[in-house]
Structure 1
Amino acid sequence: MPVEALRGDITRLEVDAIVNAANSSLLGGDGVDGAIHRAAGPELVAECRMLNGCKPGQAKATKGYRLPARHVIHTVGPVWNGGGKGEAETLASCYRESLRVAETLGACTIAFPAISTGIYGYPREDAAEIAVRETLAAMDRFERILLVAFDEETLGLYRELLG
């Protein structure tokens, strides 16, 4: 199946592109963002400085540097504010824009973390539904799309939704 769920460390995956759940500065932070920046090395933050940040729902690409992935696609997810401030559309846009950027890079394989479900507080069930819906809609354009879970709960949600 072109869309797969797995539990693991996104920084260790040998794919064409990994997606970074970044903050708007793109200069590193906590969670997956910090892990990607640490694993990629200081060259990543140097390139990110030249991108002038990123708005929620958008995506920008850099090289992967010391990562096994050739590219990092940085996207800024929404902060959960109860669901009435366009969070679902912004999160869906993160997936769509990241997939669009991946295509422009010629990526055939891409891995996503659970965008916005950490410090940004997006409910995991809702976020998983959006992730699965948006990646399944694009599966014919890629050889492999990975939904990478950091924990068993998220992995279970992805697997249930993928059938």
Structure 2
Amino acid sequence: MPLRIVRNDISRVRADAIVNSANKNPVCGGGAEYHIYEAAGYDKLLAAREKIGVLDVAEVAVSSAFALKAKYLIHVVGPKWNGGESGETSALASCYRRALEKALELGCESIAFPLISSGVFRFPKDSALKIALQAIGEFLQSHEMDVQLVVFDRKAFDVSEELCDDIRAYIDDNYVRERYSGVRESARWNENGVSADFEKCDFYENSFVVFNRAEASHAIYEQEEKSLEEMLATAGETFCGKLFSIIREKNLDDVEIYKRANLDRKHFSKIRSNLHYRPTKKTALALAIALRLNLDEAKDLLSRAELALSPSNKGDLIVSYFITHKKYDIWEINSMLFKFGQPTLGA
């Protein structure tokens, strides 16, 4: 499970290594750091931190995790926000990279991060999040590790409000379309093939739609004429068959795909080895994102696993928004799904 965004108190998380967003001096600060000290054993951890001494910004050090559910506690000092013009952006990225490198050196298979510098150091949360996701994502392109980004309060999990507003508008528009579609499907027809109930739809004033019943009936009749044997003979590829056909057509490799999809190697090997593998919806969507499919292609891939994108599901609409706008960054998508309280993709 490469990267998950979770809502929790980091002092309660289980991982091989937990990262402490530390004070430069060997003292216990507030926020998440205080919770870590309390859970680990305040006096023991403070004594260990005093042995480490003063740390520079982006410098890492390791201590015992004591009573925490971890083997190691990795201390790193994040930068204070100073308007973004004092090198704090690159310093924050270094915090994540160096902590990950230290965890790798220690033989850790899992690590949990807070959103470094986003508390008392006043780093804007949307910027802090983007930097965290980019730094962790780059690391995961060449290494295997289970990474958790732990956020204490979803309400404080600020991301681009401009993007949020755009997604809210997209969700609202699609909810309207679904309601209108329901009216259309249940409509009565007049002699001209126009819905007699259409005037009841209050979404599109001064508009009308002509439904061609003759063409629709003809299409249904043609489908009914096919025999069962003919239909079975033309059955399409399975989910796995289609997935690996696309990978071949796009000249991609498995590693590139499972990393883009935020899946681990073992999970993808399971998919590769079982032609009849049935994915969960979040796995299927993650793979559609990794393959950079358009919306019709994504719907087709999901349909082969008997799955569908629902216009009444906010998570599906958020993913559809990103696919429609050709934005295929799995971590940006997951951050927005988390913001809206929806399940994230991949891991």
TM-score by length of 2: 0.45
Residue 102 of structure 1 aligns with which residue? 103
Alignment correspondent of 2:132: 131
Could you tell me how far apart the structure 2 residues matched to 1:61 and 1:21 are? 12
Structure 1 stretches of 4+ moved >6 Å: none
The answer (yes or no) to whether the contact 1:148–1:155 under 8 Å persists in 2 is: no
Write 1 or 2 for the structure with the bigger share of strand: 1
Partner of 2:150: 148
Match of 2:39 in 1: 39
Paired with 1:16 and 1:124, the residues of 2 have a C-alpha distance of 26
Question: Cα RMSD between the aligned structures?
Answer: 1.8
Residue type matched to 2:336 in 1? E
Q: Deviations over 1:92-126 (max 9, x none)?
A: 01101111111111111000001001110000000
Give the equivalent residue in structure 2 for 1:159.
335
Number of corresponding residues:
163
Q: In structure 2, how many angstroms separate the alpha carbons of the residues matched to 1:156 and 1:5?
A: 13
Task: Give runs of aligned pairs for residues 1-150 of structure 1, distance below 5 A.
Answer: 1-41=1-41, 42-139=43-140, 140-150=142-152
Higher RCO, 1 or 2 (CA under 8 Å, sep at least 6)?
1
What whole-Å deviation, never above 9, does each CA across 1:31-72 have from its counterpart, x for those lacking one?
Answer: 111111111112111111111121111111111001111111
Larger CA deviation: 20-29 vs 121-130:
20-29
- Max Rg structure: 2
Q: What SS does the corresponding residue of 2:6 show, helix, strand or coil? A: strand
Q: Which amino acid aligns with 1:152?
A: R
User: Shift in Å at residue 154 of structure 1?
Assistant: 5.4
Structure 2 Cα separation of the partners of residues 27 and 8 of structure 1: 24
Inter-partner Cα distance in structure 2 for 1:133 and 1:28: 29
Aligned partner letter, 1:100 = E
8 Å CA contact retained: 2:18, 2:111? yes
From the two aligned structures, give the one with the greater helix fraction: 2
Structure 1, gaps ≥5 residues long: none
Unaligned runs of 5+ residues in structure 2 are: 160-333, 338-343
- Residue aligned with 1:107, SS: coil
| Letter paired with 1:44 | L
Shift of 1:27: 2.4
